[in-house]
Structure 1
Amino acid sequence: MAELRFDTVASAAGYTHADAEANQGSIVPPLYATSAQHFPSAAAMEAALSGQEDAWIYSRLGNPTIRSLEFVIAALDGYRVDAEVSAAVAASGMAAVTLATSPFLCVRGDEPMNIVASAACYGATFMVFSQRYGKERGVEVRWVPENATVDEWAARVDLHTRFVYAEIPANPLLSLVDVPALSALAHEAGAPLIIDATLATPALMRPLAMGADIVVHALGKAAGASGVSLAGAVVARHGITSSAADASMTDDFAGYLRRGPIRDMGALLSPFNAFTVMNEVRDLRRRMDAMSRSALTISEHLHSSHRVAEVFYPGLQSHPTHALAQQMVLVDSEADGGPVNRYGYLLGFRPVGGFDAAARVFDRFEVIWRANDLGRVKSIATIPAIATHRQVVAAASGGAVVPPDLIRLSVGLEHVDDLLDDLTRALGAA
C-alpha cells in the first residue's frame, strides 16, 4: 500500500478484496470470537506450533482479528517511513508501555543499568518506572524535567542506559521533545528511543519517521474514539538499536513480543476489542482534523479570556514547544494544498482564582463530561492533579510540574460553538 495516501491506508489496510471474497463477500473484516484454531492434520498443527507456518493457533498466541488490527496499526505508524515496521497489540495502553520497556531490563551480572525518561508522563507510566522498575527491580530512573534541552537529556544518558523514553505531546501540559536529536543521542549510547505517541496518533505524528525505534499507543483513546474498548499497541521498526539485546529481539521487536512476552505472560487483547478499534481507526485522520480544529479555536478563545490565567496548547505561540510542534505535528491533507499543521484535541487551562475556582468551573460543565479519559468523540474534562496525575504530583519527581488548578480538556466532535458556550457559562461565575 506504499503508493496510497494515509486516509486510504487507514480505510483499507489489513483486509483486501480477496479477503472479502474468502469471507462470503463481507466488506468488514470478521470478528473471530473464538479461542482456538482447528487444524486439518497433525502435520499442519506441528508446522504451526513450530513456527514453520504463520498460523494463529490459540488466541493467547494470536487471532485473525487481532492480526488484522496489528497490520492496520503498523501500516499507519509506518506510513512513509523508510523501514520495515510491525506491530503487536495488547490489552491496554499500559500493557503496551510495559511490553515496550521491560524486555530491555535484563540483568547482566553486576552491570548497573538505568533508564532515562521525561518526567512529563502519564501517572501510571510514572508508577511503572518509579515503583515497578525503580523500587522493585533496583533500576536507576533518571528523570528529565519537562521542556529540558537536548543537552540536559544527554547529561543523563550513558552506556548503561537501557532505553530513552518520552511521551509526546506530554499529558497534560502538551510539551514536545526533539525526536531526531533524542534518537541520535540514544543510539550513540546503544539504547533505543521509545515514544508514547498516544495523544498524537499516527494521523498527527509518526515518530518512527523521525528516528524513534519503538512507538506505543493507548488505542482505546483517539484511535478508538467511541470509548467502547481498551487496547494498546507497540509499533517498532525492524533492526532497532539496543546493545543490551540480541538479534532475536532487535530484528523484529513486535514479532518478538508476540512470540514471547505476550504469549507467555498473557497480556493479550480480546478479539472483540480489536474488532471495535479496527473499525473506528478507519476514519482517524478526519476525526483528528476536526477535533484539532475545534481545540485550536477553544484554546484561542480561552487565551483571550480575562477569567483564564494560562492556557496550554501546542498550537498557541505562547506554548513553550510551539516551534517544535510546527515541525513535528501535522495532518496529511491535500485539501489545503499540502500537509497542514493540526495540534491535537487536548488542551489545558487554569482559571483565575486557583484550585477552588477550577473546581467550581469543572462542576458547572453541562455539555462537557467529567471523567478521567481523553480522545473521545465526546468532550471530557478532568483535573489531573487530583486524578490522572495524582501520583506524579505526590512524588514531585525530577521536574514534573502539574498545576493543581489545571483543567485538562479533551475536545470531541460536538459543535465548537456549543463547547464555547459551555465554557463561557462555567467560567462566568468562577
Structure 2
Amino acid sequence: MVRRSRFTTLAVRGSYDHAESANHLGSLSEPAYLATAQHFESAEAMRAAAAGECDAWVYSRRGNPTVGYLEATVAALEGYRVDAEVSAAVTTTGMAAVTLATMPFLSAAAGAKPNIVASPALYGSTVMIFNKRYGAERDVAVRWVRDPLSVSEWERCIDEDTRFLYAESPSNPMVQLVDIPALAALAGQARIPLIIDSTLATPALMRPLALGADVVVQSLTKAAGASGRSMGGAVIARHDIQARAQPSELTADFAGYLRSGPIRDMGSVLSPFNAWTLLSDIRELRGRVDTMSANALSVAQHLAASDRVAEVFYPGLPTHRSHGIAKRDMWLVDSDVNGREAVNRFGFLLCFRPVGGVRAAREFLDRLNLIWRANNLGQVKSTATIPAIGTHKQVAESGPESAPVPADMVRLSVGLEHLDDIIADLTQALDER
C-alpha cells in the first residue's frame, strides 16, 4: 500500500504503518531508539543477528531502528515514480554522503589508474574532496568538464579508466543544472554510474533517478532538515547499477552495500536522535519547499529589476543558462494530479552580485536585519552568505580554475518568512547610505 501512496503520504508515513505501530504500544510516531546496542534472548539469537539471518539491529554502528525508518522514508521519496528498486543509506553529514557515494568506485580492482569526470559547479567541500583527498592524496585523475551544459565535452572526457560521472543539479552556489538524461545515456554507454547531488532540488522538485541517474546524494542538513537541529546525509541508489570491476554485492544494491560494509566499518553512522528529528522535519518537505521556492522566484524577479543589482543567478529566470533544463526537469511533485496543470518550481536558493563589487556585497550583508548571516541553506529561516569568504573560501583561496566563485556574489537561501518582509529587508540592505 505504501508504494501506491502519494508523495506527501510517504513523507508523513514512511515505513511506519499500523502494524509497526502495534509493535510499539500504538505510538503514532516512530520511536527514538536512543541506545547503542540490542539485548539478545540467547547466544543463538545473537549469532543469527550478527550473521544477518534475522531482522535485528545488534549494535547502532551496524544499524538502528530509528535510522532505518529514516532510510526507508528517504528511499521512498527519492524513488517516487521511479521504475526500479531503490534503497538508501543515511550518514552523519552531507559530505560523508558525497564521500561514501564516490569512494567505493575508486578501488584498485580494475588494475588501472582511475579517473573521475565531474562538473566544476560544485559545493566547495566537494571540490576539495576531489582535488585534495582523491587527486593529491590518492593520485586519482579529476577531469573537470569546462562547460557542464555541453554533453559533448562530458563525452570527450570519458575513457576506459573513468569510474563515474558526477554533478550537482542545481549546483551550490551558482544554481546551474545539467542535462541528466543525456549524461545518463553517456554513463550507460560507458557502463559507469552517474552520480547526482540533488540537495538543492530535493525529491519534492526533481528526482534524478527518474531521469536516469544511478546514485543520488542528499544533504539532509538542508531542506530535508529545515528546522536546523540536526545534520545528516543520504545516498540513494537504484538496484543493479553498472560499475567497472566492482563486486556484485556493490552493484546489486549499492546503498545496502554501504550500510553493511563501508558505513559499518568506517563508522560514519547517523545518531538515532538526529534521525528522529530529521524524520519530523521531512514530513512537511513538499509544502515547505513549494512555499520557499515560490518566494525565491519572487525575490529573484525583484532583484533582477533593481538598479542596485548587477546580476542574478536563478534557474527560474529566463536569463539563466540552465533555465530550459529547469523548465523541463523541475516540477512540484504531484502538482499534476486530478487533472491539474503541473507547476514548475525552481528551488529556494539564488545568488546575485550587487552593484559596487566586493565592498557593496559585504556592506549589503552587514545591513541585513531579518535575514540571517549564516553558511547553511534550506532552513525555514532565510540566510545569506558570501561564498568566496564562507562556503567556498578554501576553493577561492586555492584558486582552482575548475570552480570559479565571484568574490562579490551573495548567496541567498529563501525561507518561510512573509515575502513582503524578505523583500523589505533586501531593499533596505541594498540602499546606498
What per-residue deviation string (whole Å, max 9, x for no partner) do you get for residues 318-375 of structure 1?
A: 1001000011111122489143110000000110000000111110000000011100
- In the alignment, is the contact (CA less than 8 A) between 1:37 and 1:57 conserved in 2? yes
Q: Distance in 2 between matches of 1:147 and 1:343?
A: 19
Partner of 2:135: 134
- Pair 1:373 & 2:376 matched: yes
- In the alignment, is the contact (CA less than 8 A) between 1:143 and 1:397 conserved in 2? no
- Pair 1:267 & 2:268 matched: yes
- In the alignment, is the contact (CA less than 8 A) between 1:143 and 1:398 conserved in 2? no
Q: Distance in 2 between matches of 1:343 and 1:33?
A: 37
Q: Residue type of the partner of 2:231?
A: L
Change (3 A) 1:109 1:70: closer
Change (3 A) 1:109 1:181: closer
Partner of 2:218: 217
Q: Distance in 2 between matches of 1:289 and 1:338?
A: 15
Q: Residue type of the partner of 2:363?
A: R
The CA deviation at 1:392 is 2.3
Partner of 1:290: 291
The 3-state SS of whatever aligns with 1:348 is: strand
Partner of 1:393: 396
- In the alignment, is the contact (CA less than 8 A) between 1:2 and 1:80 conserved in 2? no
Partner of 2:418: 415
The CA deviation at 1:419 is 0.4
- In the alignment, is the contact (CA less than 8 A) between 1:192 and 1:241 conserved in 2? yes
The 3-state SS of whatever aligns with 1:31 is: coil
Q: Distance in 1 between matches of 2:11 and 2:197?
A: 20
The CA deviation at 1:171 is 0.6
Partner of 1:344: 347
Q: Distance in 2 between matches of 1:308 and 1:427?
A: 8
Aligned 1:2-401 pairs, distance under 5 A:
2-108=3-109, 110-332=111-333, 333=335, 334=337, 337-401=340-404
The CA deviation at 1:391 is 2.2
Q: Residue type of the partner of 2:75?
A: A
Q: Distance in 1 between matches of 2:146 and 2:174?
A: 13
- In the alignment, is the contact (CA less than 8 A) between 2:148 and 2:154 conserved in 1? no
- In the alignment, is the contact (CA less than 8 A) between 1:238 and 1:251 conserved in 2? yes
Q: Distance in 1 between matches of 2:303 and 2:264?
A: 48
The CA deviation at 1:13 is 1.1
- In the alignment, is the contact (CA less than 8 A) between 2:149 and 2:179 conserved in 1? no
Q: Distance in 1 between matches of 2:107 and 2:9?
A: 40
Q: Residue type of the partner of 2:325?
A: L
Most deviating of 392-401 and 114-123: 392-401
- In the alignment, is the contact (CA less than 8 A) between 1:231 and 1:273 conserved in 2? yes
Change (3 A) 1:409 1:169: same
Change (3 A) 1:182 1:395: farther
Partner of 2:430: 427
The 3-state SS of whatever aligns with 2:164 is: strand
Q: Residue type of the partner of 1:391?
A: Q
Q: Distance in 1 between matches of 2:374 and 2:274?
A: 21
- In the alignment, is the contact (CA less than 8 A) between 1:201 and 1:222 conserved in 2? yes
The two structures have a TM-score, normalised by structure 1, of 0.98
Q: Residue type of the partner of 2:410?
A: I
Most deviating of 416-425 and 50-59: 50-59
The CA deviation at 1:54 is 2.8
Q: Distance in 2 between matches of 1:96 and 1:424?
A: 37
Q: Distance in 2 between matches of 1:389 and 1:18?
A: 47
Q: Distance in 1 between matches of 2:3 and 2:26?
A: 25
- In the alignment, is the contact (CA less than 8 A) between 1:116 and 1:165 conserved in 2? yes
The CA deviation at 1:197 is 0.6
The 3-state SS of whatever aligns with 2:284 is: helix
What per-residue deviation string (whole Å, max 9, x for no partner) do you get for residues 29-48 of structure 1?
A: 11000000111122211111
Most deviating of 229-238 and 40-49: 40-49
- In the alignment, is the contact (CA less than 8 A) between 1:146 and 1:175 conserved in 2? no
Change (3 A) 1:336 1:315: farther
Q: Distance in 1 between matches of 2:64 and 2:328?
A: 38
Q: Distance in 2 between matches of 1:264 and 1:21?
A: 33
Q: Distance in 1 between matches of 2:338 and 2:234?
A: 30
Most deviating of 2-11 and 309-318: 2-11
Q: Distance in 1 between matches of 2:74 and 2:11?
A: 8
The 3-state SS of whatever aligns with 2:113 is: coil
Of all paired residues, the percent bearing the same amino acid is 57
Q: Distance in 1 between matches of 2:8 and 2:254?
A: 26
Note the aligned Cα RMSD (angstroms): 1.3
The CA deviation at 1:400 is 2.3
Most deviating of 181-190 and 267-276: 181-190
Q: Residue type of the partner of 1:96?
A: A
Q: Distance in 2 between matches of 1:109 and 1:244?
A: 5
Q: Distance in 2 between matches of 1:373 and 1:213?
A: 27
- In the alignment, is the contact (CA less than 8 A) between 2:147 and 2:153 conserved in 1? no
The CA deviation at 1:230 is 0.3
- In the alignment, is the contact (CA less than 8 A) between 1:195 and 1:207 conserved in 2? yes
What per-residue deviation string (whole Å, max 9, x for no partner) do you get for residues 221-258 of structure 1?
A: 10000100000000000001101312110000000001
Q: Distance in 2 between matches of 1:274 and 1:109?
A: 36
Q: Distance in 2 between matches of 1:378 and 1:384?
A: 18
The CA deviation at 1:147 is 4.0
The CA deviation at 1:425 is 0.3
The CA deviation at 1:55 is 1.4
